[in-house]
Structure 1
Amino acid sequence: MHPDTNESITYAAPEADRHEALRAMARTSFSATFGHLYDADPFTAFLDRAYGPGGAMEQDLGDPAVRWLVASHRSAPVGFAKLTPLRAPAPAPSPGALELQQIYVLAEWHGRGVAARLMEWALTTATADRAPEIYLTVFDHNERAKRFYHRYGFTEAGHCTFTLGDRTDDDRIWRRGL
């Protein structure tokens, strides 16, 4: 158990001078969860495209249509949620649907309520936006994540694939009405 309490976590939109630290945290979280599945060279190239300077995350940090909530401890990011217009290939989505595209929490903070607070923010924000539904994608074998999403009323609505290097994995598209 982490020695600090949840009260030491702050939640806020990402500050521009902290974007690099947030991208590094995302890279660490993704690597810890999925790094063992992929060959090193294509995995590193993916991480650079996703979380490196000029990568997809940096572009989303500059996009006003993308909303963020960052969980920080002593000014260091330990988790975040990213809410976007729907990007996943959801089957027959309602107009105005949103996507919880990422919810990442560093492993040492799992089970401490950080993910729950980020999820509650995403659902509250989507509801305030009058989104009819919210989607997310999840790796088919990420049982921990699927249990978490199920607790919040998400159910499987479709599937897609994620390709990295020579490996193609099944992802599931999950939906929750609002």
Structure 2
Amino acid sequence: MEQIEIISASLEDFKTIQLIGRQTFLETFADNNTEADMAKYLEESFNSQQIKAELANPDSMFFIAWENKNPIGYLKVNSGKAQTELHDSNAIEIERIYVKRTHHGKMVGQLLYNKALEMAIHQNKAYLWLGVWEQNPRAIRFYEKNGFVAFDKHIFKMGNDEQTDIMMKKILTPAS
């Protein structure tokens, strides 16, 4: 495996974020959702205007995983008012860790998660939190392995379908 670099993304990277987002979301969720719901979600969440707005938000940060000159995944974290829920100044939300299927099992997701953890510790946050679809056992296991525990549930709108996400958090201690 080639060396993987995690690089902070800027507004100029919107097309890369958009393409990885669409590809990985389809790879992960297309088999369990209708074509209409997938198309609606992808258009709402990954259109150019939406991605540019997210990249321009000072309370959100994106990091792209690169293998050579190929983007293979990305991380989106939110603090402050950019958080999708909670809006806790003592927390960072991991909104997305997306990795291309070709790179599953190659530690890319772990590297991206480590970047989020590093940010949270550096900023002296009390915890990290996220929402993960209850029907995504691979992701749930990944977060549990990294010390997250379920604390609530919320509704995630996938097109016209209301789905349940498990909300998970990891309490940070000085030795995290």
Q: Same fold by TM (over 0.5)?
A: yes
Specify the alignment match of 2:34 in structure 1.
39
Contact 2:79 2:89 in 1 (8 A): no
Q: Which runs of 5+ in 2 are unaligned?
A: none
- The residue aligned with 2:110 is 116
The alignment yields a C-alpha RMSD, in angstroms, of 1.7
2:132 paired with 1:132 = no
> 2:15 matched to 1:20?
yes
Distance in 2 between residues matched to 1:110 and 1:155, nearest whole Å: 22
* TM-score under structure 1 length normalisation: 0.88
After superposition, residues 1-178 of structure 1 pair within 5 angstroms as 5-7=1-3, 9-55=4-50, 57-85=51-79, 87-90=83-86, 95-178=89-172
Structure 1: runs of 5+ lacking an equivalent = none
C-alpha spacing 1:63/1:89, structure 2 compared with 1 (3 Å): closer
Which amino acid counterpart does residue 31 of structure 2 have in structure 1? Answer: H
Q: Tell me the number of residue pairs that the alignment of Structure 1 and Structure 2 aligns.
A: 170
Q: With the length of structure 2 as denominator, give the TM-score of the two structures.
A: 0.89
Amino acid at match of 2:15: E
Runs (4+) of structure 1 exceeding 3 A deviation are none
